[in-house]
Amino acid sequence: MTKQIDFSVFSSIKIGPVVDVLLIDEIQKLPQDTFLIGGANNILVSNNPPKLAMLSKKFEYMDINDDIFTVGGATKSGRVFSFCKKNDIKGFEYLSKLPGTLGGLVKMNAGMKEDEIFNSLLKIKTLHGYTEKKDIKHGYRFTDIDTIIYEAVFKINRGFDSQKVDIFSNMRKNQPSQPSAGSVFKNPDGDYAGRLIEEVGLKGYKIGDACFSEIHANFLVNLGSATSEDAISLIELAKDRVYEKFEIMLENEVIIV
């Protein structure tokens, strides 16, 4: 079964074509040459994407058993946050302000500040059964997972922290409200991508309607009718200029599909 998705509406950056996306309804191998999407909060879909697939609603679920919390791969971060608040679970407070599906969050090891999804992760369920956290390479916004995450299992630590929710909300006040895919580049070791973009004169710089935000330069925002070509040209320009001036090669955090 497929679902028609208009990426200029569905994706967080509001850019992209209308595509028939394969709905994955049972545990299977990702078909060859197919890219898996979650909530499209960290991707930029070009005008000529590969075949796309996504998990169906069958993988939207949450369950608690003793001190174990099990979440289906298609479950949205907002639902996980509300569930944790209601059930007094700590460590997921940042999900109040971090859009995504559980599969996308785990694949990207998403997080804010020192909190990230791997902190309380025990294992993930894939086509090959369960894989323990210790067997998954992971770091800052990185994992080596190259297969579909159908489910993730966490250890429950009690004590939902509403002060943290306030801290994360305040952090977001310094970030732009226009459509974006979050941070466009990873922060290089010991530096900030936003600072480097600003240093090379690209803060507020536009190509078409794609712009490095005046509020936070590491956010590439869509001012209205940006195209994927505009956004990709801007990304390449920043990489070239930062490399010329600092000999630092910025690494994309946003995934161009």
Residue nearest to ligand FAD (CB): 103
Looking at 53, 80, 148, 200, which residue binds ligand FAD (CB under 6 A)? 148
Q: Which residues contact 151 (CB under 8 A, 6 or more apart)?
A: 59, 70, 71, 72, 73, 124, 125
Active site residues: 141, 183, 253
237: closest CA among 209, 202, 208? 202
For position 182 contacting ligand FAD by CB under 6 A, the verdict is yes
- Nearer Cβ to ligand FAD, position 213 or 241? 213
Binders in 44-73 for ligand FAD, by CB under 6 A: 55, 73
Q: Is 108 in the site for ligand FAD (CB under 6 A)?
A: yes
Tell me the C-alpha distance between 147 and 181, whole Å: 22
Looking at the Cβ atoms of 67 and 177, the one nearer to ligand FAD is 177
Instruction: Tokens for 22, please give them.
Output: 């394969």
SS (H, E, C) 93-149: HHHHHCCCEHHHHHHCCCEECCEECCCCEEEEEECCEEEEHHHCCEECCEECCCCCC
Residue 226 sits in the site that holds ligand FAD (CB under 6 A): no
One of 104, 115, 152, 218 touching ligand FAD (CB under 6 A): 104
Residues that bind ligand FAD (CB under 6 A): 12, 36-43, 55, 73, 98-101, 103-105, 107-108, 110-112, 141, 145, 148-149, 180-182, 255
